Chains A and B, each alone.
Chain A
Amino acid sequence: QSALTQPASVSGSPGQSITIPCTAISSDVGGFNYVSWYQQHPGKAPKVMIYDVSNRPSGVSDRFSGSKSGNTASLTISGLQAEDEAEYFCSSYTNTNTLVVFGGGTKLTVL
């Protein structure tokens, strides 16, 4: 069982907003401060969309935002576009021997 839990799928219509939660199921992720989010299109490598919970790398659309409350981090995508349809993974640095863990991934479908 992954240390980070995500829903298997979410969906939304173009223009809508969706939120993908990522819940830490143990205290192994420490303060859960080093949370990052990755977008992966089929056949492509993952791409970082959010780092350090809520920071956007240069070049990433401001439609993508991250937040955290307690042991749940969230990725919100506003103004959904067809190109946002992809798999999204959360990740965290931990204070165990498994230094980095990933969530199981969430498939976003844009209806």
Chain B
Amino acid sequence: QVQLQESGPGLVKPSQTLSLTCTVSGGSINSGGYYWSWIRQHPGEGLEWIGFIYYSVSTYYNPSLKGLVTISLDTSTNQFSLNLGSVTAADTAIYYCARYAMAQGSFDYWGQGTLVTVSS
């Protein structure tokens, strides 16, 4: 059973960089057929796709984040990470990591989510 777990600071100051890590267990992050993903949910609102990484060589980001986001992958630790720069209060949200199964076109496994608050 694949499991994902987010970790990182719950509070980030405005203009700083939000950094989160997702640890994957029960499966290799280096297996084909899956995009490793970050999704966020503003309080009481819907879901927003942040981006994908595939095999450490291909990354895809939501253009609305205007080049402030970077997703990276570390096969030695079976983790992938999110960096979101120059954060503002509008980046306060629950951040989820998830696995996107390409053959099914769906996010089949999710982390439990972590609330990140941007505040001074």
**Partner-B contacts on A (CB < 8 A):** 2, 33-36, 38, 44-48, 51-52, 55, 57, 89, 91, 93, 97-105
CA–CA, A88 and B113, complex, Å: 17
Interface of B toward A, CB cutoff 8 Å: 37, 46-49, 52, 60, 62-64, 96, 100-101, 104-108, 110-113
A31 to B46, CA, bound (A): 23
Secondary structure of the B side of the interface?
A: strand
**Contact for B63 among A35, A45, A98, A103, CB less than 8 A:** A98
User: From A49, which residue of chain B is reached at the shortest CB distance?
Assistant: B106
- In whole angstroms, how far apart are the Cα atoms of A35 and B105 in the complex? 7
Instruction: Give every chain B residue within 8 A of A101 (Cβ-Cβ).
Output: 49
Whether A99 and B47, one on each chain, are in contact in the complex, defined by CB atoms closer than 8 angstroms, is no
Bound form: Cα–Cα A102–B62 in Å: 12
